[in-house]
Amino acid sequence: MARRRQIYEGKAKVLFEGPEPGTIVQYFKDDATAFNNKKKGVITGKGVLNNRISEFLMIKLAEIGIPTHFVRRLNMREQLVREVEIIPLEVVIRNIAAGSLSQRYGVPEGTALPRSIIEYYYKNDELNDPLVSEEHITAFGWANTHDLDEMMGLSLRINDFLTGLFLGVGIRLIDFKLEFGRLWEGEEMRIVLADEISPDNCRLWDLKTNEKMDKDRFRRDLGGVEEAYQEVARRLGILPEGGPRDLKGPETMQ
């Protein structure tokens, strides 16, 4: 079978041209990076798990009316998504202080925030994804005020929903990162949730023990990285049927 045209290779995913115009295939890799590519590694089975976890969460979000780019999962490592124009922002929603917020403002990790905080980072590896304000975003034309209102509204709804969903399986949603895209339907433009939602871009702590169940285990060399991702999938009820042995998944690409 003819090899599909690769559109883009990112740090954790490869994008291929989809079967129909306006679609893209997202292939989830096991590669992991941190600190803007300074730290590199492989988390065996991560691609299979993140494909499943992101599928599960995007479907649940669509059920409550959040527009997403997700169409369907194709196989162990691939999903079909709508082609969107990615807004060059990383939208971070925080419920509990951790990571860069703790460092930047001197708030101890684990401190509950008085309300959810939304931050925007400009997606640019060369600049190290700098924190930006709405002023920067509108002045430089990355998004307009309408786009920002839409992204903030969706982010808060997603946060409320995911906080409850994870709480139900004994996990505290500390913070997470979202990306949005513009979906054009003729003259009409809609902002939709894009990229992925997985332990790569969420902080997830066990409700009882506060044990970390996300990419911080890799970033901070805590060990048990594969097991943590598996445990998140297991609690969500979506561990691949054959269990961890199934995680390697088919490596062949059409």
Binding site for ligand TMP (CB under 6 A): 92, 98-101, 129, 175-177, 201-203
Nearer to ligand TMP, 10 or 223 (CB): 10
Burial of 86 (0-12, 13-18, 19+ CB in 10 A): middle
> What minimum distance in Å lies between the beta carbon of 121 and ligand TMP?
7
User: Residue 131: what residue type?
Assistant: L
C-beta closer to ligand TMP: residue 23 or 100:
100
Nearest CB to ligand TMP, comparing residues 36 and 44: 36
Q: State in angstroms the smallest separation of the CB of 102 from ligand TMP.
A: 7
CB count in 10 Å sphere of residue 109: 16
* Inter-residue contact 36 to 129 (CB < 8 Å): yes
Nearest residue to ligand TMP on Cβ basis? 99
> Measured from the CB atom, is 18 or 55 closer to ligand TMP?
55
Angle (nearest 5°) at CA 112 between 106 and 116: 95
Per the DSSP assignment, residues forming a β-bridge with 117 are: 94
56 versus 176: smaller Cβ distance to ligand TMP: 176
Which of 25, 143, 38 has the alpha carbon at shortest distance from 76?
25
In the complex, the smallest distance separating the C-beta of residue 207 from ligand TMP, rounded to whole angstroms, is 17
DSSP classification of residue 209: T
